[in-house]
Amino acid sequence: MGSASNPNAWAEYRNGEISDPIINAIIATSPLGLPLNDIKETTFGACQPNPATNYTRIPYSIKQALKNAVVTVLDMQGKLVHKKVFESIGAGQGMLYLNTEHLQAGFYIVQINQADISYRSKLNIIK
């Protein structure tokens, strides 16, 4: 965590720190903070931030762990421009992070297809 004199002191907190010593609290690492028992189905949220520059993240809520989940990024002509395999995604809630630094400015489709899961989201890259 940064110091009071550091203008970027909250940068670590915004990027996923799980504890906040200032208020002596544990920060939920999930977008909704639901206990695993309350997760009824697998869902993925919209890419955040969107538009993105260097990275985007996809919030998820999954009942059972996923193995070898493939996230693909397609340009508007349907051409594969990026592929990332997540070997294991634990049950619960969290974020999938995608590096987008190498993508040109423009519009893309991010998708996840695995067994009975089908996810698709629009992504705008700006430079």
Domain boundaries, the chain: 1-28, 31-125
List all residues 6 or more positions away from 31 whose beta carbon is below 8 Å from its beta carbon: 45, 59, 61, 93, 95
**Looking at residue 37, what is its pLDDT?**
52
Cα separation, 71 vs 113, in Å, equals 8
Q: What is the pLDDT of residue 89?
A: 83
| pLDDT tens column, 17-54 | 444 455 444 444 444 444 445 556 778 889 989 999 99
Q: Bigger pLDDT: 78 or 27?
A: 78
CA end-to-end distance (rounded Å), the chain: 29
Q: How far is it, in rounded angstroms, from Cα 121 to Cα 47?
A: 7
pTM of structure: 0.66
Top-tier CATH class for 31-125: mainly beta
Q: What number of helices (H) and strands (E) belong to the chain?
A: 1, 9
Asked if residue 91 lies in contact with residue 124, where contact means CB atoms within 8 angstroms, the answer is no
- pLDDT value at position 38? 57
Mean pLDDT of the chain, nearest integer: 75
